[in-house]
Amino acid sequence: MAAWSDSGRENPQPCRDGDNGKFELIARDGRARIGKLHTSHGVLETPALLPVINPNIRTIEPREMWDRYGIQGLITNSYIIWKHDDLKRHAMEKGVHDLIDYPGVVMTDSGTFQSYVYGDVEVGVEEIVEFQRSIGVDIATMLDVFSRPDMTEREVKEAVETTIERCETSLKAAQGVMLNGPIQGGIYRDLRKQSAQGMGQFDFAVHPIGGIVPIMEQHRYKDLAKIMLSTIGDLPPERPRHMFGCGHPMLFAMLIALGADLFDSAAYALFARDDRLLSPQGTYRLSDLHAWPELVPCIVHHTPEEVRKMGDDERTNLLARYNLEVTLAELSRCKQAVHEGTIWQLAEQRSHQHPALREAFLWLTTRPFSSRISTDVIDDLILDDRSAARDHHPYGGIWEDDWSNIINMQTPRRKKGERWGGEDTRSRPHVLAARRQLHRRWKPMTSNRCDVLILNGKPGPWRQRCDLLVLRLKHVLPDLEIFVQTPLGLLPYSLEDLNPFAQVDGPTWLWKRRLNTLLLRQGLQRFNVDADRIVILDVGQESLIQKASSLLIKHGLLKDEIIVDDEVLPVLRDHLRRRQIIDKMAVLLNLDYEHATSLVDSCTYIIGGTGRVKNVIDKKGRHIVSPRLTDGGLSMTDLGSKAIFELRAKLPAEGEEFNPNSGRGEGPPVLVVNQDAVEFILRGRNVFHGFVSACDSWLKAGEACLILDEDGALIGHGIAQCDANEALRFKKGIAVRTRSDFSKSMK
Ligand code: GUN
């Protein structure tokens, strides 16, 4: 047992021998993640803020950071320690943890920032890393070359290349100590990519994004977003990404959504010295305040007036605590949002706090290509800041792939309804991902060229309101395709309960859109439907069948009123159910329509209390899938995974590049585990990273997958926690949450 410190907070436990430097993911929301970095001074849970400690001026004692604030890691500057003889002697004799009296994870910087502020530094590339190692830091930093935003492209290129040239020497000097490999590249997309790819080749533990301090100081948040977009996707996913010098809580949500794991900042202390207060809403001056923007524990017994009257040291100290507490609270909100799958929603809310942040957010989410993806739901009558941002976008399509990768990493479905937050809601990345999945995988039943009926005007559930109408229509017009107009876009009627489309938590007028046939036609084309005639039925209180009859007659689709003998209704209902299951198999499990149809052929159903299908039983009597009530999804059973796997033609090659759009119609992606893991998976245990030997390129976090042994036999199924790029790269953590237990079900 570790000793208790004076105040009662236990010192951290060192990680297990083989785990030092490993990073594992606990939860994620697309590119945003909750992780754990394992070190010999405990676990650093991410996203985390590493407060900057100046060993000469300690506004808040590091010990208090540990004891009172639960801060698991901090950053100090090895160059400052190296330059001061007394600090250097102490650190070399007793270690950096003793020098600053802190038991947690200590990261040190190398002096690069000093070179940016003061010109050159006197220390050598090898020397500064050796020094950091010798004083026992947990994560050291190599001496990178700072790239300023005002540098020419040639100068920045040189900074990037010189930094890369220094990697080998630096890593050798680190002798296995975790090392930061900073990414430079200024505001040049290609140079950021070159830096990320070049640095990523070396064995660094963490990749800080460097050269961003002046960009943040100048509030150039759009440039910051571009830096993130161009860099993160090119870094090895199994390493944490650190934002060098970023500690303003207003930026956390957007940066975490774009993939940041670590932040460091002296802002809490520097702003305090200047009588300024940090907050997720922006920065406040103490002189302007009548009440506290956030009521945090350190301030509850003081009014702003009282604090203004305090002496300099007392005031600075109190405001530094205030800033730290507010910053930590925002980080905690961000973590909760990642767990809930709402980090983009939080970024959306924060974007309103500063015009430059709003500009960055709109630039990300409303660029011309993203509007192309969502034309079917963008109402040309909406003239808000979103459409204005689209019109003024100067960059064309060069960012298309980078943004597309963010969308591709999103799990389309959420456990809860989609909370409406204005027009931004329509282009939340997971909504775009859901739409993309639908457009790519859903197909009209008979022909691409068909008549279409659009149900408009009311929120779901539509089955209660419209099932009888749909059944009758299918009898008289078997080729008619029926869609529902949701606030998030068109939804095939067969998928009427699918999250997020069907579960929008907002005012009912959202469902009463004035529909424009031209836009509808374009929207339908994304579903591969070349609509002959489009009929819009406003679902109101009146008799739907009569209303639909007269509309369809008016448009020439029908000659007479819809009259269907009640006796045929059970058969029609059976057809509709079959279609619903087939469409869900195609969209959610990536099955080819032919395969899905053959699986569902002669199926029977167990119907639940609400009249909905509970279980689907195939012709061999196997319970294969169950529709989920919560999100309109489809859960595979163990026998279902077997039936689905039997349709699979070929096995994956090792380490395929992530491409969620590949393998169309080939079923859920497959992940192969090595022999050591097989007996555990068969008993329902999760698949851990380190035991994965191959996977399909369309393996995606949050989606169902099949688990095979190396001989190609099915041993389980579950929900992937990683994508194809990550499956083989991470060495710790859960790769698949297994949902099966073949030791019981396959007896
Ligand atoms: N601190 C703030 N920015 C930087 C950077 O680009 N490199 C290093 N090493 N430290 C920093």
Q: What is the strand order of the sheet 734-738 is part of? A: 687-688, 734-738, 714-720, 704-708, 670-673, 692-695
Confidence of residue 158 (pLDDT cuts 50, 70, 90): very high
For ligand 1, what atom is nearest to the CA of residue 110?
9
pLDDT at 394: 45
Q: Which residues pair with 535 in a beta bridge?
A: 453
Say whether 196 sits in a helix, a strand or coil.
helix
Residue 64: in which H helix or E strand, if any? helix 62-67
For ligand 1, what atom is nearest to the CA of residue 245?
2
pLDDT at 309: 98
**Alpha-carbon separation of residue 108 from 52, 87, 499 (angstroms):** 9, 14, 45
Omega of the bond leading into 461 within 30 degrees of 0 (cis)? yes
605 in a domain, yes or no? yes
Q: What is the strand order of the sheet 23-29 is part of? A: 23-29, 32-39, 42-46
Give yes or no: residues 103 and 243 share one domain. yes
**8 Å CB contact between 168 and 206:** no
For ligand 1, what atom is nearest to the CA of residue 142?
9
Ligand 1 centroid, distance to 112 Cα (angstroms): 6
409 in a domain, yes or no? no
Q: Kindly state the tokens that stand for 216.
A: 């943040």
119 in a domain, yes or no? yes
Confidence of residue 540 (pLDDT cuts 50, 70, 90): confident
CA distance 403 to 428: 12
Say whether 635 sits in a helix, a strand or coil.
strand
The residue type found at 570 is P
CA distance 346 to 424: 11
| Total number of domains constituting the chain | 4
* SS3 letters across 489-550: EEEEHHHCCCCCCCCEECCHHHHCCCCCHHHHHHHHHCCCCEEEEEEEEECCCCCHHHHHHH
**8 Å CB contact between 159 and 195:** no
Ligand 1 centroid, distance to 146 Cα (angstroms): 7
CA distance 578 to 299: 62
Confidence of residue 385 (pLDDT cuts 50, 70, 90): low
Per residue in 309-327, pLDDT tens? 999 999 999 999 999 999 9
Q: What is the mean pLDDT of residues 558-570?
A: 87
465 in a domain, yes or no? yes
Domain that holds residue 590: 573-636
Nearest C-alpha to atom 7 of ligand 1 is from which residue?
210
Ranking 125-134, 376-385, 499-508 by mean pLDDT, the lowest is 376-385
* Full DSSP string of 183-195: B--TT-HHHHHHH
The residue type found at 425 is T
CA distance 163 to 146: 9
Give yes or no: residues 86 and 47 share one domain. yes
Q: Which of 453, 487, 445 is nearest to 469 (CA)?
A: 453
Instruction: State which of 594, 612, 636 marks the end of a domain.
Output: 636
46: pLDDT strictly greater than 60: yes
393 in a domain, yes or no? no
Give yes or no: residues 501 and 623 share one domain. no
Q: Which of 222, 522, 529 is nearest to 372 (CA)?
A: 522
Give yes or no: residues 689 and 670 share one domain. yes
**8 Å CB contact between 277 and 296:** no
The residue type found at 248 is H
**8 Å CB contact between 579 and 470:** no
The residue type found at 5 is S
**8 Å CB contact between 626 and 637:** yes
5: pLDDT strictly greater than 60: no
Per residue in 584-637, pLDDT tens? 999 999 999 999 999 998 899 999 888 889 999 999 999 999 999 999 999 999
391: pLDDT strictly greater than 60: no
Q: Which residues pair with 666 in a beta bridge?
A: 591
Q: Which of 5, 160, 153 is nearest to 70 (CA)?
A: 5
13 in a domain, yes or no? no
Place of tokens 């009640």: 566
Give yes or no: residues 550 and 578 share one domain. no
Beta carbons within 10 angstroms of residue 691's beta carbon: 17
**8 Å CB contact between 27 and 342:** no
For ligand 1, what atom is nearest to the CA of residue 180?
9
**8 Å CB contact between 685 and 672:** no
367: pLDDT strictly greater than 70: no
Give yes or no: residues 624 and 670 share one domain. no
109: pLDDT strictly greater than 80: yes
Task: Among 53, 114, 118, 144, name the best residue to mutate to test ligand 1's pocket (greatest count of ligand atoms within 8 A of Cβ).
Answer: 144
Ligand 1 centroid, distance to 91 Cα (angstroms): 22
Give yes or no: residues 511 and 479 share one domain. yes
CA distance 440 to 356: 35
Residue spans of beta strands (DSSP E) within 259-355? 262-265, 276-279, 282-285
Ligand 1 centroid, distance to 217 Cα (angstroms): 14
Nearest C-alpha to atom 9 of ligand 1 is from which residue?
112
445: pLDDT strictly greater than 90: no
Say whether 456 sits in a helix, a strand or coil.
strand
Ligand 1 centroid, distance to 212 Cα (angstroms): 8
**8 Å CB contact between 687 and 735:** yes
Give yes or no: residues 530 and 578 share one domain. no
Q: What is the mean pLDDT of residues 128-153?
A: 97
Greatest CA span in the chain, whole angstroms?
Answer: 97
Residue 242: in which H helix or E strand, if any? strand 241-243
**8 Å CB contact between 614 and 580:** no
pLDDT at 562: 84
Nearest C-alpha to atom 4 of ligand 1 is from which residue?
210
pLDDT at 3: 42
Beta carbons within 10 angstroms of residue 112's beta carbon: 24
CATH code of the domain containing 232: 3.20.20.105
Give yes or no: residues 222 and 339 share one domain. yes
Q: Kindly state the tokens that stand for 300.
A: 């509850």
First to last CA, the chain: 45
- β 623-627/276-279 pair status: unpaired
Nearest C-alpha to atom 10 of ligand 1 is from which residue?
113
Residues with CB under 6 A from ligand 1: 109-110, 112-113, 141, 144, 146, 182, 210-211, 213, 244-245
For ligand 1, what atom is nearest to the CA of residue 182?
7
CA dihedral over 698, 700, 704, 709, signed as positive or negative = positive
Give yes or no: residues 552 and 586 share one domain. no
Say whether 615 sits in a helix, a strand or coil.
strand
Task: Among 75, 82, 146, name the best residue to mutate to test ligand 1's pocket (greatest count of ligand atoms within 8 A of Cβ).
Answer: 146
Average pLDDT, the chain: 92
407 in a domain, yes or no? no
CA distance 717 to 738: 6
Instruction: State which of 542, 564, 586 marks the end of a domain.
Output: 564
Place of tokens 């220094």: 166
Nearest C-alpha to atom 6 of ligand 1 is from which residue?
210
Q: What is the mean pLDDT of residues 45-52?
A: 98
Nearest C-alpha to atom 5 of ligand 1 is from which residue?
210
Task: Among 108, 109, 125, 167, name the best residue to mutate to test ligand 1's pocket (greatest count of ligand atoms within 8 A of Cβ).
Answer: 109
Max avg pLDDT among 33-37, 377-381, 650-654, 661-665: 33-37
pTM for the model stands at 0.94
CA distance 387 to 563: 46
For ligand 1, what atom is nearest to the CA of residue 211?
6
Give Cβ neighbours of residue 392 (< 8 Å, ≥ 6 apart): none
pLDDT at 655: 65
Instruction: State which of 636, 670, 687 marks the end of a domain.
Output: 636
Give yes or no: residues 189 and 303 share one domain. yes
Give yes or no: residues 149 and 220 share one domain. yes
pLDDT at 370: 42
Q: Which residues pair with 23 in a beta bridge?
A: 37
CATH code of the domain containing 627: 3.10.450
Q: Which of 278, 347, 327 is nearest to 49 (CA)?
A: 327
Confidence of residue 288 (pLDDT cuts 50, 70, 90): very high
CA distance 201 to 743: 42
405: pLDDT strictly greater than 90: yes
pLDDT at 57: 84
14 in a domain, yes or no? no
CA distance 29 to 410: 7
Task: Among 118, 121, 213, 215, name the best residue to mutate to test ligand 1's pocket (greatest count of ligand atoms within 8 A of Cβ).
Answer: 213
Q: What is the CA radius of gyration of the chain?
A: 29
Ligand 1 centroid, distance to 159 Cα (angstroms): 13
Q: Which residues are catalytic?
A: 109
Ligand 1 centroid, distance to 327 Cα (angstroms): 21
Ligand 1 centroid, distance to 627 Cα (angstroms): 51
Q: Which of 527, 465, 530, 461 is nearest to 492 (CA)?
A: 527
36: pLDDT strictly greater than 80: yes
Place of tokens 């190609």: 712
pLDDT at 649: 78
Say whether 484 sits in a helix, a strand or coil.
strand
CA distance 408 to 721: 14
Ligand 1 centroid, distance to 245 Cα (angstroms): 7
**8 Å CB contact between 297 and 383:** no
